[in-house]
Chains A and B, each alone.
Chain A
């Protein structure tokens, strides 16, 4: 099994697996991590999965792996891989089952100390209006026709229905809608699952969290993002729910035949892929974009629900409860983007599996008010620990396909976490630290215990030291709502 001794150290925060490591690698793998982080994942198969990813046909440049990397299935979590267009491949497993899982950040000018007496009520109302957990249905029911619109239009549909405020869409990656979505490429089964779940958080590591801006690291950028020290913000972490899971399941199954038809040999069947310009590749791209739009609409409706909870909690009591959107990012996605490849600007298909787009200053895709600074990069920590707002850099554009980390990254299996942590004890500990907890399942809470994750501060410091993002603000949780 591959180990640290097989890696070439480039700097304190950067490592390389050369193409010569294994004969089927098509490109090298660059890892942004400290030695300590690599030692943490030495016992799992992350590095082997990164090498496997580097065998995909049509890859360009390097496969890039972030410091929050951990073992997944197919791609390791925390990977960015770009393939040439139009003949390179697209891999459904390289996007993952939760298509467009992502994070939205809303910010207020409500000071924590003023809001503190009302936080318990706020947590209760968010829990009521943002259904989470196993079997919970969404707050919005859509007809078959409406669902087609959701899949085609994403957050734009939500805005038409009154679920969005003026700046929300401009401050969402891709404006909250991936063009080229093809609802007709989404199976009826996936649509059935989606119809009941729009406007719901789901379970697992998904959550809504109220935080306070603990510390500002970059005043000007924080000001541009509307972040004020000591004030409340809200993170929403969820994705495309059962609809996305079903789309990925359908296409991973269908692509088992495609790899044979196109003569593609892979070390792992979860990496199945098809050329972007093949009928199979085009179908998946259309379906994946539709699922991504579902997720954009889902987070938009949840943002609306959070605003409702804030309004009912604070209206008439405190001023400054308006929640403006800082940004909404995807961390499981494949997108056609223009990047520099061997000195030329080229369109490539960027797979981000557990990695966040982190476009630097001057990028035309950003809203005008953010363009001088760069894109907000939202990095939620593990439950009860800090989270980070970073900003994309020019270096990220050159070295990591305009990408950065997406979270803390697990280091402990769910089984071990449940064995070592009691959900009730964890809840009591968090409550003792002044964090209001609403959780549907105590075992689910235990699985997401902070000790099951890497230290998110080290992750943020690593990408910052490596130059692929910059620290803007540190967030500390005051209320956690999860399934």
Chain B
């Protein structure tokens, strides 16, 4: 798994890594869901890869699009994970087969994501919030990594 739990006295922390930035965002969301024990209602048969919204059919999970902006890439990661948390807590869904695109900008980074909205069968534990504590996205020849601390 491209993420692992890191020690934190009171809260939860994850170290996440991926070959590229969109992958880092997707793995961070997966890792967060794993920490919370998020399980979607099983679907019958294979789930098709997400296509454009207009190709949605009754057999598929409905597609959900997210568009977020933030002043930098770390703030965008917090905004993205906070959005995923909100969907779990308030709308009782999780997004599967996520595709994430990032658009860097001078003053504003932009994220566009699409995923299949799946109703939740179970959540073991909720996270209160995604924090900025010691949040630095790092890059090297292997790709990108980040540590995220969650308030629980």
Contacts and interface: CB of A to CB of B under 8 A. Distances in A.
Contact of B9 (A413, A441, A444): A413
B9 A70 contact: yes
Contact of B11 (A73, A203, A443): A73
Contacts of B8: 44, 71, 413-414
Q: What is the interface residue range for chain B against chain A?
A: 20 to 34
Interface residues of A, number: 44
Interface of A: 41, 44, 46, 70-74, 77, 93, 96-98, 134-135, 189, 192-193, 203-204, 242, 245-246, 248-249, 252-253, 256-257, 260, 268-270, 272, 410-416, 441, 443-444
9 nearest A-B residue pairs (beta carbon): A73-B133, A269-B132, A73-B131, A97-B129, A71-B9, A270-B132, A270-B133, A245-B128, A97-B128
B78 A253 contact: yes
Nearest to A246: B86
B12 interface: yes
Given A268-B134, A269-B135, A256 B75 contact: yes
A270 B148 CA distance: 12
Contacts of A413: 7-10
Contacts of A414: 8, 10-12, 152
A134 B124 CA distance: 7
Contact of B5 (A41, A71, A415): A415
B9 A74 contact: no
Interface of B: 5, 7-12, 70-72, 74-75, 78-79, 82, 86, 89-90, 92, 123-126, 128-135, 149, 151-152
B interface: dominant SS: loop
A257 B10 contact: no
A395 to B, nearest CB: 28
25 contacts: A44-B8, A70-B9, A72-B11, A73-B149, A134-B124, A135-B126, A189-B86, A189-B90, A203-B126, A242-B89, A245-B128, A245-B151, A253-B79, A256-B70, A256-B71, A256-B72, A256-B75, A256-B132, A268-B133, A270-B133, A272-B132, A410-B9, A410-B10, A413-B10, A416-B7
Contact of A97 (B70, B135, B151): B151
Nearest to A204: B152
Contact of B125 (A189, A257, A441): A441
